[in-house]
Each structure stands twice: as structure tokens, then as C-alpha cells.
Chain A
Amino acid sequence: MIDPALLYGLTGAAVVGLGLYGFLSLRHLLRRVLAFNVVGSGIFLMFGAAGYRGAVAEGTAGADPVPQALIITGIVVALAATALAVGLILAHARATGRRTLPEDDT
């Protein structure tokens, strides 16, 4: 019998890896931003699973509220950063007509 928190924590670690792979290998800038969001969601999942484990160990009802509050803050900040990144990508595309960075063309 596996502890569910452990299962979600390890899933989170694997999601981080998948996102990182996309972030490093994809050239399309929007897909990179998307992959970075996948990394973020994996980190939140690991953090939340660790908080859940702590709450279970303590025997308190419900998951630990402090990690929950921090994760909600993180989700909102991730959206703000994504919106800024998308704005920069669109401005870059408008200026150069490209959807990739020149460094990746080698």
C-alpha cells in the first residue's frame, strides 16, 4: 500500500522533469512558456503533497493551510508571469516576424 501523498509527490517530480524537457528542447516560444508552466505545476504538486504528509502525521483535519496559501499565491504569480512572457513573445514576433529565438537556429 503506497501512501497517496508519496504517490502525488513522485508524480509531481516526474511532471517537473517532463516540463523541463519541453522547456529545454522546444523551440516555439509559446510552447516553452507552456512547458515552464508544467514545471510550476509539478513543483506545486510536490509542495502540496509534502504539506499533506505533514498534516496526516500531525493528525490535524485537512491539509496544512500554510502550503495551501503559498501554492495559491504561486498559481496567481505564475499566471502574471505567463501573461508578461506572452506579451514579450508577441512583441518579439511583431518586431521580427519570428516565433523562435535566433540562438536556437544554430
Chain B
Amino acid sequence: MLLDVILCGMILAVALAAVSGLGVFRAVVFFVVHGVLVSMAWLRLDAVDVALAEAAIGAGLTGVLLLSAVARLERLAGGGAWRQRVNVLPAGLAAAGVTGALMWAFLGLPQPAGLGAEVAAALPRAGVENPVTAVLLNFRGWDTLLESVVLLAALVGVWALTADDDWGARAGVAQHAAPGGVLEGFGRVLPPLGLMVGVYLVWAGAAGPGGAFQGGTVLAAVALLLAMAGLAPAPRVGAPALRLALVAGPAVFLGVGVAGLAWGGFLRLPPDIAKPLILTIEAALTLSIAVTLALLVLGRPEPGDGA
């Protein structure tokens, strides 16, 4: 209980720091700390799968994305004194009002019944033992299928911002790490470990905490580390193999879903072969998630804008 109170206090303090008057770089650092603290809150709420996703995606990849954006933005539009804030009073009042209303609504919520019992009852027919994976890939497959398409759509959006001359170049800006530096050192040490952890998370996700999104994110982090350390060049956008990797997950998922029509409905998985089907979907989905997330963080190709 005391731990919960301290944790909530720290979450609030760090969230305040992330929106306060510090510079943009410090704000991003506080945001990453916020993500780590929130993932500890998820552990306290018995949601280990969410804790993994929050730590890997919410804190990790979002942090890398924002930090590299800070550096790119300062080069494009740096310098000059300017006002940090506008409309402080109305914004404060609006925020306080929304917080008050949300707290009031939360306190007034009827005791929720929850769907835990229904999921537990259906779990023997789901093919996997982890209820969260069962919900993601079997009971609510629609959500996950469309989510993988959203990822793809976001990447199309990012790539659509590419300048005409840069199309077909390597994704992101040219990266240079100091030879023998910290980044290059970690770039050589961490990838084997990251590959193992990533694949383990996907495999373990059938029975315990983990899954395609958490594992795929770790694999994306490995790819990003290699690219940022300059050890492996980022792929060229538009390379056929790359495009195949991007669509493999949604395509396999959709294929299995359509095959389910023969069984009884779109995205229905026959209980007898649900496990191999889910593992097949997860394998393809992991590849696509890893590649898509890494490319989303690298951003559009800007070969002329070296770091």
C-alpha cells in the first residue's frame, strides 16, 4: 500500500516535470522515466503483459523516437528566444476541470462485472494459456488485425512525407557513431541478447506474459541499435524484401481469418488447431511489427541530413 502511494506520487511528479518549463530534451527524458514508472504501476495492477508493452513501446521506442526528433528538429529550426507557453490560465482551468470530472466519474463507476470469468471459461478452446494472448489473437482478432494495418498505414503516412529526390534512399538520416564509443560497443554486445529475449517473449507469450507486440518491439530495438551505431545500414525504402516483411503479418493474419470462413466465420479458429494457427500468425506478425516499428522510429529517408 505504501509502495502504491509512493509510486503514484512519483508518477505524478514525473508527469508534471514532463510538461513543465524545462527544455524539450529534459522533457523527453522525464517522459521516458514516466513510462518506466507507469510500467511498474501495471505490475502492481497484475497486468504483466501491459507492463512489458509499456516499458518496451511506451517508454523505450517512443523515447528513442522523440529524442532523435529533438536532435533533428534543433538542426532544422534551432536557436532564437521565444515564448514557451500560451494560454496558461485557460489551459490550467480546462485541465483541472477535466481531471475533476474524470475523478468524479471514476469514483461514481458502478462496480464493473468484468469479462475475466467469460475469458477463463473459453480459454480451453483458445489454443493458448495466456488469457491476454487469447484475447488478442483469438477472441478479439479483429482488433489486432486492424491494429497491424494501422501500423502499416502510419508508416505509409511517414514515408509519404519523403522528398521526391530522397525516395528509394535508406530510411532515416545517415548515422555516424564514434568508432570504439559507447554506442558502437553496445551495438555489438546487445543484439545477440536482444534477439534471444525478443524471440523468447513471442514464444513464451502463448503460456505466460509476452507476445508478438512485446517481442517484436525488442527485435525492433535491436534493429534500431544496429542502425544507430552505424553497424548495419538501414534498409532502402521500397526494397521488395522489405515490403514483403512489412505486409507478411497482416497478410498471414488475414489469410487465416479468411480460411476461418470454412470453419464458421471470419477470424474463427478451430480449437483443435488453434495453437499452431496462433503461432503462425504470431511469427509473421512479429516480423512485420519489428520491421514496421523500427522504420517508424527511423522516419522518412533523409540522406542529405546526416547526424
- A-side interface residues toward B, CB under 8 Å? 1-2, 4-22, 24-28, 30-31, 33-35, 37-38, 41-42, 44-46, 48-55, 57-58, 60, 62-66, 68-73, 75-84, 86-91, 93-94, 96-100, 104
Contact = CB atoms under 8 A, between A and B. Distances in A.
B contact residues, range: 35 or more
Interface of B: 1, 4-5, 8, 11-12, 15-16, 18-19, 24, 27-28, 31, 34-35, 38, 41-42, 44-47, 49-50, 53-54, 57-58, 61-62, 65-66, 69-70, 72-73, 76-77, 82-88, 90-92, 94-96, 98-99, 102-103, 106-107, 109, 111-117, 119-120, 131-132, 134-136, 139-140, 143-144, 147, 150-151, 153-155, 157-158, 161, 211, 213, 289, 293, 296-297, 299-300
Contacts of A35: 18-19
Given A76-B53, A77-B147, A80-B150, A28 B84 contact: yes
A22 B119 contact: no
B12 A76 contact: no
Contact of A38 (B18, B53, B90, B147): B18
Q: Majority SS of interface residues in chain B?
A: helix
Contacts of B116: 54-55, 58, 60, 62-66
A98 B77 contact: yes
Contacts of A71: 47, 50, 53
B135 A16 contact: no
Nearest to B95: A21
A65 B119 contact: yes
Contact of B18 (A34, A52, A70, A86): A34
15 contacts: A8-B45, A11-B12, A14-B103, A19-B15, A27-B86, A37-B62, A41-B35, A46-B106, A54-B115, A64-B119, A72-B136, A73-B147, A76-B53, A79-B296, A83-B296
A86 B296 CA distance: 10
Given A17-B99, A87-B300, A82 B62 contact: yes
Contacts, number: 294
